[in-house]
Amino acid sequence: MSTTPGSRPDGRSSTDETRQLSDKVALVTGAARGIGLGIATVLAERGSAVAICDLSEDASRSAAEGLVSVGHRSIGIATDVTNRASISAAVERTIEAFGRVDILVANAGVWAASGLEERTDYNDNDWDVTHSVNVRGVVHSAEAVIPHMKERGSGRIVNIASHGGRKPRGTAIGQTLGLPYSVSKAGVIQWTHGLAIELAPFNITVNAVCPGELWTHMIEGIYTNRRNVGGGPADLSVRDGWDERMRDTVPLGRGQTPRDIGHAVAFFASEDASEITGQALNVNGGARMN
Amino acid sequence: MTDVTNLDGAITLVTGAGRGIGQGIAQVLSERGAIIAVSDLDGAAAEVAADALNAAGRTAAAFQGDTTSQDSMDALAAAVLDEFGRIDVLVCNAGVIGAPGYHERTDHTEADWDATFGVNVKGFVHTANSVAPHMRDRRAGKIVNIASHGGRKPRGARAVLGNIQAPYSVSKAAVIQWTHLLAIELAPHNINVNAVCPGTLWTPMWEAIAENRKASDPELAEFTPREIFEMSVKDRMPMGREQTPRDIGKAVAFLVSDDASEITGQALNVNGGAVMN
């Protein structure tokens, strides 16, 4: 950052954090950790009440308690997005607690079925799990809030896809193993386009954020696989190998953080983005461009 | 409910800011704390726009510059640095739909290709060339190029705006590609480069488009340019409404804020969903 006198100081948020989403209510799936927790934290800091929905009841509650302990409004709800009844119940509980849902962030996702650290090719389980969570889970989540948003004549849906759902750059690591994931994330982007058209007449915008690479459990699994069986640098720790890869392949030279994704979600959820719908925005340091 | 993106004290150069989209961008950024260098080919329009910002309690100064001339833009950047000491944000916005007489013609001419390439493409290159060395020295900067959703892939349906828009659309596709490449070049210097692709706005440019359609389509003869514009919006925009210069300004405000520090090389449509990427 700049050190010139009079310029903006380092580390300062450029957004008035108390007003951007004041009095909004957001439901974030997969929010107990990783990207989802980063999104939930940023939305809460900017004034939104947040329902933290994740598979584990304990993890959802504990993440919500973390937000409440610093003065935000939050509840944790055990939610399985692959189950329509479960996500519908989560929407109902959120409305009970906070009166409505203004913002849905469909974030819950998986990279592959278990055992990926040691495999070199995908299996049927990988296709099933990525489709059921990343595609059908995102669809179920939207379906659970759409009637409510239509009735209110407003709403914001932000789907978390991936830049892996964009066209490949010609070379990429873990391409074969990562195909079910990439295909599912391309599905999320296309779902975003189609749903945006369907919901535009109801003043509901639907957009996607496509994260690049972040040091999360998911990326740790991918790079553990690369180090174990994918020809990644064996002389480096998994984390160091990832850092090196980011320096080499990302124009801005670094991975992203969950908060970076949260900032983009906050923008799409804000009044500033009222004319933006059907778009997918890469937050990836320029690693792929659209 | 308001959103206040805090751009406190960010010195911001906006080209083509004397009217239309550029003026709207300047307004939104200045409301959020940016200090605006209002640049326009029409120096008098720049003065009026800067005066209006100052009268509203913001800080702005007017500059005359011709983006088609590298010398002119170098002199302009030097004048802005002289006035404000640095440039944190550059918004390349100055653009044209075609050569003079565009609204009377039904097909593009050599002059349209020259005008759109000269202003919309080379003008952006000149402007970046004049400011990027300064940003590189400071290892900080944000550049936003105003492209158009017309620079994206066509939707396949009949080109409702006719063949005459081809030079414009091609030039705006070039702005998007320029954005991608400049982002890679400047990323090591901590400079972000992104594009905003506006949809359909009632500006002097769209008035020219509507006049052109009125002149070239007998079925539209009885309608006013504004009515023709509104019909196009209803037909083409999923959200059913036009965008405003302020809508574009809000997207620019996001992209130049610290919230977008991990976003570079991207083009974002602000178009009510009319074209999707």
Q: Quick check: is B134 in a domain?
A: yes
H/E run at residue A93? helix A84-98
Tokens of B78: 């030097």
Facing residue for B5 by CB, picked from A8, A15, A201: A15
Look at residue B231 and tell me if it is in a domain.
no
Nearest Cα of chain A lies from the Cα of B5 at a distance, in angstroms, of 4
Torsion over CA of B213, B219, B221 and B227, rounded to 10 degrees?
A: -70
The one-letter code for the residue type at A73 is: R
Residue B102 annotated as catalytic: no
pLDDT band at A4 (very low <50, low <70, confident <90, very high): very low
Q: A280 pairs with which residues across the strands? A: A208
Domain ranges within chain A, ordered by starting residue: 25-283
Give domain status of residue B36, yes or no: yes
pLDDT for B268: 98
Cβ pair A15:B259 closer than 8 A: yes
Q: For residue A237, what are the contacts with CB-CB under 8 A and spacing of at least 6?
A: none
Predicted pLDDT at A23: 92
**In this predicted model, what pLDDT tens digit does every residue of A80-122 receive, in sequence order?**
999 999 999 999 999 999 999 999 999 999 998 988 777 888 9
Q: Which residue of A has its CA nearest to B181?
A: A289
- Does the domain at residues A25-283 carry the CATH identifier 1.25.40.10? no
Chain B, window 88-107: residues with a beta carbon less than 8 angstroms from a chain A beta carbon: 88
* Cβ atoms of residues B263 and A282 within 8 Å: yes
Token couple for A230:
């994918």
CA angle B195, A9, A266 (to 5 degrees): 50
Which residue of chain A is at minimal alpha-carbon distance from B180?
Answer: A289
Query: What are the Cα distances from residue A30, in Å, to A145, A158, B15, B234?
Result: 16, 13, 43, 38
pLDDT exceeds 80 at position A269: yes
Q: CA nearest A19 in B: which residue?
A: B3
Candidates B168, B178, B206, B229; catalytic one: B168
Q: Which structural domain, as residue segments, surrounds residue B258? A: 11-200+245-270
Which of A207, A213, A252 to probe by mutation at the B interface, max B CB count within 10 Å? A252
Within-domain flag for B218: no
Query: Does the beta-carbon distance from A7 to B187 stay under 8 Å?
Result: no
- Higher confidence at residue B159 or residue A27? A27
Query: What is the residue type of A237?
Result: S
Chain A residues whose beta carbon lies within 8 Å of the beta carbon of residue B263: 264, 281-284
Mean pLDDT, residues A49-72 taken together: 98
Q: Cβ distance A156 to A203 under 8 Å?
A: no
Chain B interface disruption, residue of A276, A283, A288, most B CBs within 10 A = A276
- Tell me: pLDDT of A10 over 70: no
Q: How far is B10 from chain A (nearest CA, A)?
A: 7
| Number of independent structural domains in chain B | 1
Indicate the residue of A19, A203, A276 with minimum beta-carbon distance to B270: A276
- What are the beta bridge partners of residue A208? A159, A280
The answer on pLDDT for B160 being more than 80 is no
Q: Alpha carbon of A9 to those of A6, A178, B47: distances in Å?
A: 8, 40, 31
**Residue B10 pLDDT class (50, 70, 90 cuts):** very high
Q: Which residues contact B27 (CB under 8 A, 6 or more apart)?
A: B53, B245, B246, B249
Starting at the edge strand found earlier in the chain, the sheet holding B35-40 runs B60-64, B35-40, B11-15, B89-92, B141-146, B191-198, B267-270
Digit-coded pLDDT (tens) for B99-127:
998 877 878 899 999 999 999 999 999 99
Decide if B168 is inside a domain: yes
Average pLDDT along chain A: 90
B219 part of a folded domain: no
How do residues A164-173 score in pLDDT, each as one tens digit? 999 887 665 5
CB contact under 8 A, B8 and A13: no
pLDDT digits (tens, 9 = 90+) for B200-239: 999 888 898 898 888 888 999 999 999 999 998 998 889 9
CB pairs under 8 A between A and B: 166
Nearest residue, CB atoms, A14 vs list B7, B251, B265: B7
Q: Cβ A271–B3 below 8 Å, yes or no? A: yes
The whole-number pLDDT of residue A1 equals: 31
User: What ipTM describes this predicted complex?
Assistant: 0.90
> Is B188 within 8 Å of chain A by CB?
yes
Tell me what pLDDT residue A172 has. Answer: 58
Tokens of B23: 């003026």
- Structure tokens of A212? 């690049």
A151-166 average pLDDT score = 96
C-alpha triplet A125, A127, A128: angle, nearest 5°: 65
DSSP string, B134-175: HHHHHT-EEEEEE--GGGS---SS--TT-GGGHHHHHHHHHH
Q: Does B1 sit within 8 Å of A22, measured CB to CB?
A: yes
Domain containing B113 — which CATH number? 3.40.50.720
Mutation test of the interface with chain B: which of A272, A274, A283, A288, choosing the one with the most B Cβ atoms within 10 A? Answer: A272
Q: Is residue B60 part of a domain?
A: yes
Contacts (Cβ under 8 Å, ≥6 apart) of B70: B126, B129, B130
Q: Do B3 and A7 touch (CB under 8 A)?
A: no
B43 in a domain, yes or no? yes
